[in-house]
Amino acid sequence: MIGRHTAERLREPARWRADAVGAGAIASLVVVLALWLHGTGLQALTMGGVAATSSLGRLTGLLASDLLLIQVLLMARMPWVERAFGQDRLTRWHRYTGFSSFWLMLGHIVLIVVGYAGTGQTNVVSESWQLTTTYPGMLLAVAGTVLLIAVVGLSIRAARRRLRYESWHLLHLYAYLGVGLALPHQLWTGAEFIGSPATRVYWWTSYLLCAGSVLVFRLGLPLWRSQRHRLRVRQVTWESPGVFSVHISGRDLHRLPIRAGQFLNWRFLTGRGWSRAHPYSLSAPAGGDLLRITVRANGDDADRITRARPGTRVLIEGPYGRLTSAVRSRPQILLLAAGIGITPLRALLEDLPYQPGEAALVYRATRADDFALRAELDAVARRRGASIHYLAGPALARGSWLPAGLAHLSDQEALLRIAPDVRERDVYLCGPPQWMAAVRAALRAARVPAKQIHCEAFAW
């Protein structure tokens, strides 16, 4: 059994890391503003006219650059940052920071062109051409800006729905190239950079920190782990209609720092398409020399993976995710899964410490045949003394998390029937976003504290 004090000790490091990361991000924006004020920024702003316009243009450019670097760091896969927040939250912040940086960058371009055109008494078109063709680094900046605009356009929800995850993920990597091309012009032509040694030290340090983080944690660490553990496909087995498992062997897997509930990005070297990464959770606790993932055959390269032969090499990135025992705070637990979201929760059902009667699992699917890993779940439940509730049937029209067969119950009533003491439990969720939103609404209505609700969105 997990005690309250043990749970608090587990949560303290994550809280300390979260506070440190948040303080660092705010401090970087304060430093940028202070350096701008220390220069000629405020003086030019008080002069009004084109001087104020150019000064605001420089400020928006500096803030856009700083947010761009923060955005890169958020998704640099630094282990202590990822453990503090989890990929769900980091992805949301990455998205918000990216859009904020994008609009500031557009404001920077417009204000600088208008300000410089006013100073030189030329029109905007002529000034734009002169800036692009005569200022050092501006051609690179234009190319980088075009790439960033393309990435932002593909990140809009309507555009993302038209792309497979793997294709979007690969195209999204061009953002790194866009950042690398867009930022150097500031070092060569920016008034703040040329006239202030302190500013140059700050920005060079920031650039090197970001570049180093990406090289080490997005490239170096995954390659090192893949080489060290030498993962290979052992076999592929079918679990239910449209769902299969991949059993992956390797060496020294006890040294891979992975917990039940986490996921990795997988690349199967089966030929064409190997470069596309797939985020799959472990569907069983890691043990011995074997890992296992369970995948829905939905066409996103899954068909290619089903044909992977024994011995096929596998590259990994990760592990990622906070849907683990590290966020545990209560002795009793409730696990709620829908569809293929059962995979991390199946691993947690076996791995989490609890006494008989302290764990319950709710598994939602459209049809009874869609319950993947059911025999394993039943076996673990019998061995550990957990209860399982299988909810099959089409979805309710009202946007409920329940099947149509339970339409006579409200979402909250059904939840309290399954776990009357739900307010005293840690709740782990994994499934489609809309389904999880309905579950969270029911949990809030049941007055479950937010700190006891742990989610992993099965979406991108």
Which stretch of 165-169, 236-240, 262-266, 287-291 has the lowest confidence by average pLDDT? 165-169
Of the segments 21-35, 62-76, 148-162, 233-247, which one has the largest average pLDDT value? Answer: 233-247
pLDDT at position 403 is 93
4 by Cβ neighbours in 10 Å (0-12 / 13-18 / 19+) ranks as exposed
| Identity at 141, one-letter amino acid code | A
Whether the pLDDT of residue 6 is over 70: the answer is no
pLDDT at position 61 is 86
Q: Phi first, then psi: what are they for 37, rounded to 5°?
A: -65, -40
367 DSSP assignment:
S
Distance of CA 318 to the CA centre of its chain: 12
Confidence band for 263, pLDDT divided at 50, 70 and 90: very high
Question: Hey, how many other C-beta atoms are within 10 angstroms of the C-beta on 73?
Answer: 23
Confidence band for 75, pLDDT divided at 50, 70 and 90: confident
Confidence band for 17, pLDDT divided at 50, 70 and 90: low
Find the helix or strand (DSSP H, E) in which 111 lies.
helix 87-120
pLDDT tens-digit readout, 297-341? 876 678 888 888 999 999 999 899 889 998 888 999 999 999 999
3-class DSSP state of 456 = strand
pLDDT tens-digit readout, 359-375? 999 999 999 989 999 99
Separation CA 401–CA 430 (nearest Å) = 12
Which 3-state string (H, E, C) describes 276-299? Answer: CCEEEEECCCCECCEEEEEEECCC
Confidence band for 190, pLDDT divided at 50, 70 and 90: low
Separation CA 203–CA 141 (nearest Å) = 17
More confident position, 341 or 201: 341
Q: Phi first, then psi: what are they for 252, rounded to 5°?
A: 55, 40
Whether the pLDDT of residue 101 is over 60: the answer is yes
Q: What share of the chain in percent tops pLDDT 70?
A: 85
Contact 267, 274 (CB under 8 A): yes
Separation CA 186–CA 361 (nearest Å) = 55
**How do the residues of the chain divide into helix, strand and coil, expressed in percent and rounded to 5?**
60, 15, 25
Which stretch of 41-45, 60-64, 377-381 has the lowest confidence by average pLDDT? 41-45
pLDDT at position 299 is 64
pLDDT at position 164 is 64
Which stretch of 70-84, 144-158, 298-312, 405-419 has the lowest confidence by average pLDDT? 144-158
Which residue has tokens 């303290």?
12
Whether the pLDDT of residue 260 is over 90: the answer is yes
Separation CA 19–CA 105 (nearest Å) = 28
Count Cβ neighbours within 10 Å for each residue of 296-323 and write b for 16 or more, e otherwise.
Answer: beeebbbeebeebeeebebbbbbbbbbb
Contact 411, 402 (CB under 8 A): yes
Tell me the mean pLDDT in the region 207-235: 93
More confident position, 158 or 80: 80
The alpha carbon dihedral of 365, 367, 373, 379 has a sign of: positive
Whether the pLDDT of residue 158 is over 90: the answer is no
More confident position, 283 or 203: 283
DSSP code string of 402-430? SBGGGTTS-HHHHHHHH-TTGGGEEEEEE
Q: How far is CA 308 from CA 8, 169, 232, 236, 275, in A?
A: 43, 22, 10, 8, 15
Query: What is the number of alpha carbons within 13 Å of residue 318 lying toward its C-beta?
Result: 24
Whether the pLDDT of residue 201 is over 80: the answer is yes
Q: Which residues touch 345 (CB under 8 Å, ≥6 apart)?
A: 261, 335, 336, 337, 361, 428, 430
Whether the pLDDT of residue 90 is over 90: the answer is no
Separation CA 309–CA 431 (nearest Å) = 29
| Identity at 4, one-letter amino acid code | R
Pairing label, strands 278-281, 263-268? antiparallel
Separation CA 278–CA 305 (nearest Å) = 10
pLDDT tens-digit readout, 386-424? 999 999 999 887 789 999 999 999 999 999 999 999 999
Contact 94, 67 (CB under 8 A): no
Query: What domains appear along the chain, each with residue ranges and CATH number?
Result: 4-224 (no CATH), 230-320 (2.40.30.10), 325-457 (3.40.50.80)
Ramachandran assignment for 290, one of left (phi > 0), alpha (psi -120 to 50 degrees), beta (any other): beta
Count Cβ neighbours within 10 Å for each residue of 142-170 and write b for 16 or more, e otherwise.
Answer: bebbebbeebbebbeeeeeeeeebbebbe
Q: How far is CA 384 from CA 14, 356, 381, 457, 459, in A?
A: 29, 6, 5, 27, 30
pLDDT at position 264 is 93
Separation CA 425–CA 334 (nearest Å) = 6
Which stretch of 61-70, 156-165, 199-208, 321-330 has the lowest confidence by average pLDDT? 156-165
- In residues, how long is the chain? 460
Separation CA 263–CA 282 (nearest Å) = 6
Contact 240, 223 (CB under 8 A): no
Whether the pLDDT of residue 460 is over 60: the answer is no
Contact 305, 270 (CB under 8 A): yes
